[in-house]
Every structure is written in structure tokens, then in C-alpha cells.
Amino acid sequence: MAEDAENKEIKEAADRLKNYGWKNITDSDRKTIMEYAEEYMEFLDMAKTEREAVEVARDLAVSCGFRDIDTVERLQPGDKVFGINREKSVYLAVIGREPLTEGFQAVGAHIDAPRLDLKQNPLYEDSGLALLKTHYYGGIKKYQWTTIPLALHGVVVLTDGTTVRVNIGEDPEDPVFLVTDLLPHLSAKQNVRKVADGVPAEKLNLMAGSIPLADADSENVKKNILAILKEKYGMEEEDFRSAEIEAVPAMKARSLGLDSSMVAAYGQDDRVCAFPALTALLRLEDAPRTSLCILTDKEEIGSVGNTGMESRNFELFLIKLLEKSGITSPYALQKMLSASRALSADVTAAYDPTYPEVMEKNNAAYMGKGISIKKYTGARGKSGASDANAEYVAYVRGIFEKEGVAYQSSELGKVDEGGGGTIAYILANRGMDVVDCGVPVHSMHSPYESASKYDIYAAFRAYKAFLGSM
């Protein structure tokens, strides 16, 4: 290409990027963005826990022609399959035209979110009140979880193998649960403690009842709660031992701002990437390479366990893809992984003008400017970073620029201010090319996070373009 023409092309690409954002979109784009956000908000309300997210993903996938991989004998290009890992994570694939050993394109997000889990012996009575003990899950600022309406979601598994689903607090007719806090009048000592110690973890107890059972001698209120649990769920107190019950904010997702340009909701880390990742795969028109969507559990506590990204159950899904495509070489799995590319679809911190002091303006992600590529994560001298190779970042931004997807490049806050990680390093350790690429959010890990509808739709377009690329 002649130098002049080349310069012109570079300038045009730069101008396009500068012009991204709300002010440059057409009315019809705006309508599309708003409609997609409505779908997303519905998803948020249906899928507040990892188990619920898996169920919703399975239903959507089945309605789009995906089949459980274990029911499929042989895979052909164009086939759509999913594998569910213990009801808490799900892997979905569209088989491409290229051989699987040439690698796949994957977008991976997590579907667990910070919350309060009930302990295994949660219920007790004190001073005429029934309470439930909790153990918080993930990185929370504990004071944020007091005096907000909480709903209980989860399962109680009985020894006969029956799984009883629990969901109390979402229906407007339902009661809610609550962690109390001190009144300001008696907070003199609490007020001078460090914010981190303001509400100790063992004070995150849920108010659960106050009516005593008429004919019991002691612990009357607790006995009444147990009687209600028996009637409603057929469970005994001991059954809490094999229960997974999560207290999550009972608030619904809402549009935020007078212009309704943002979404405020619980659990947007990382459902704001999980929903675009899922819908990008479900709506993929063409898969030259095999395309995957990974929705994983336990990211908030280190991606551990057999449902987290570290789990070898992910490899098992890949082995099934290979075997059912007729590839049985012992090296096929590693060959495929090393030739594969992924986007670690996780949120990043959006620049918050109320707290500019933790951000470095030139390398912050801004709300309403599109999806953000984070070349590296980590903290203190990139320690523990998953650092994508420049060649790979060029490949990814090339896709976005070609498709006209709004994107920015950022890192999480000022150097030495803090830091964070995602599932990226786990995929990278397996040999894949991977870069973090997600939606900027405000108030991450709080009970009510916010994100821009513009960026949410940009994520959908970005993931779809990536999945459909060679």
C-alpha cells in the first residue's frame, strides 16, 4: 500500500475510535442498545446465582437448537452443543468448519457473584428473635450489606437425594431478610473504627423471625421458623448441613439516570459480560473456527474447585468435542488448546469522577466508551499478571476496528493502588492466547453495581465478532 493511502487508513481508524459513544449513534442504534439492555435486565432478575444462571443459559441454548453433548454421538460443523458441570458452570460450543486441532475461539465469563452464604448451622434464637448466621463469599465491603433487603436463593439437598429449591424474597408478596446495623446514636465507637472493621463478619446475621411457637417450652421462635421450613420445604434443621443458600440483594435490575442510559443491579460482575458472551454465541451466524462460551463458577474466590475455571472438567468437555469429531490422538487436546484464542470476559473498574484519586486518567476505562481491553492484570509490578502478548492484542483490536466495535484500553486503577485478577491466567497457563476484555462498572462488588447500556451492547458485538473470526 502506498504510504499516503496507509496513513489515510490509520487516520480514519483513529477518527472512528474517537467518535465512539452515545453522541455519535443513530436513533436506530439507540433503540437496539436499549432493547438489548431490557433483555439483559430480565436475565439479571432470573439469574442471581450461579445455579440459576446455568439454568437460564441451558433454557436459552435449548431454544436456540443446542443439545447436551452427552446425547450427541458424532459432531459435524455447524452442530451446537453444551455441557453442564454440576449445575454451576456451563460450556457451550458451535462446531466450526476448521479442524478442532487448529484451535477454537472462546469467550469466558463467570456467573458467581459476591454475596452472603448461610453457614451450615445457621439458625439460632437470641432475645426472642430468630437469626441466620452467614459467611460472606467473595470480596465485599461488609458495611454495604447491612439494612438492604436480601432474598434467599439456593438448594437444600435431602439425604434421600431430593433437591429442594429455595427462593424467598423476590416475589413482591414474599418477605425479605435483613442484616441490622447500629443506630447513629449508639455508633460512637463504630464510627471511629476503620471502615473494614466497622461491621465485623460475625455480625452479618440475617433477621429471620420473631413469632414464638405457642406450645414449645424453649427456643420458641426458632422452633416456629423450623416448623415453617418443614411445611414449606419438607426440611429438618439438620438439612441445612447439605444446603447451599445464598443471601443476595432482593432488588430488581433498574435503568439508571434520567436518560436511562445505565443499568443498576446486583451481580453485574460478571453477568454484564456473561450475558453478552452467551447471547453472542447463541446468535452467531457463522463459525469458521469452533466457538465456545464458558460460564464458570467460583471466580470470586480464586476459580478453585471442580466448578471453577481451574477444574479439569473443562478439559473433559473439550475431550468430548474432540472424540465426537473423530479425533482421538493423545496430543490433540494440547495441540487444540495451544492454537486457541480467548477473551476473558470480566468487568473492569470504570472511572468514577467521585473517586478520581485511585485512577490514572490516561489508562482508565470510561463508562459509555465501549468495551475495555486490559492487556494485563496483577498488582505491584504486574505480580501475578496475565499479560497478553502484543501480537494477540493486535489481532483482537484488529477485529474490533474492522467491525466498528467501540473499545478502549485500560488497567485497573493507579499502579500500586490495588489490583485484581480474572480467569485469564488459567486459560493462558493451558497454552491459549487470552486477553481480558470486559465492561467497565461502577461500585464493583457492591450490592448494586452500575454499567452503561452502550458498553453492554458493545460487549455483545465485540464477543460476537471475535467468536466469528478466523
Binding site for Mn ion (CB under 5 A): 269-270, 346
CB nearer to Mn ion: pick between 296 and 408: 296
Beta bridge partners of 81: 67, 93
CB of 463 to Mn ion, least distance (A): 15
> What CA–CA distance (Å, rounded) separates 295 from 314?
11
CB nearer to Mn ion: pick between 269 and 455: 269
The number of beta carbons lying within 10 Å of the beta carbon of residue 118 is 23
CB of 420 to Mn ion, least distance (A): 7
> What CA–CA distance (Å, rounded) separates 224 from 306?
37
CB of 422 to Mn ion, least distance (A): 6
Shortest Cβ contact with Mn ion: which residue? Answer: 270
For residues 433-442, one letter each, b for 16 or more C-beta atoms within 10 angstroms of the residue's C-beta and e for the rest, the string is: bbbbbbbbbb
Q: DSSP states of 1-39 as a string?
A: --HHHHHHHHHHHHHHHHT-SGGG--HHHHHHHHHHHHH
Q: Which long-range contacts (CB under 8 A, 24 or more apart) does 388-395 make?
A: 388/424, 388/428, 388/433, 388/434, 388/435, 388/436, 389/433, 392/341, 392/433, 392/434, 392/435, 393/435, 395/341, 395/433
> Hey, what's the cell of 264?
443498576
Count CA within 13 A, CB hemisphere, residue 412: 24
CB of 445 to Mn ion, least distance (A): 6
Beta bridge partners of 76: none
CB nearer to Mn ion: pick between 270 and 411: 270
Place of cell 470470586: 300
CB of 102 to Mn ion, least distance (A): 30
Are the C-beta atoms of residues 130 and 206 closer than 8 Å to each other? no
> Hey, what's the cell of 3?
504510504
CB of 335 to Mn ion, least distance (A): 30
CB of 113 to Mn ion, least distance (A): 7
CB nearer to Mn ion: pick between 135 and 232: 135
Please state whether 197 falls in left (phi above 0), alpha (psi between -120 and 50) or beta: alpha
Largest CA distance in the chain: 92
CB of 454 to Mn ion, least distance (A): 20
CB nearer to Mn ion: pick between 311 and 422: 422
CB of 54 to Mn ion, least distance (A): 17
CB nearer to Mn ion: pick between 239 and 346: 346
Are the C-beta atoms of residues 336 and 317 closer than 8 Å to each other? no
Contacts of 273 (CB under 8 A, 6+ apart): 109, 345, 346, 347, 438, 439, 459
CB of 438 to Mn ion, least distance (A): 8
CB nearer to Mn ion: pick between 110 and 461: 110
> What CA–CA distance (Å, rounded) separates 120 from 113?
20
CB nearer to Mn ion: pick between 112 and 433: 112
CB nearer to Mn ion: pick between 96 and 114: 114
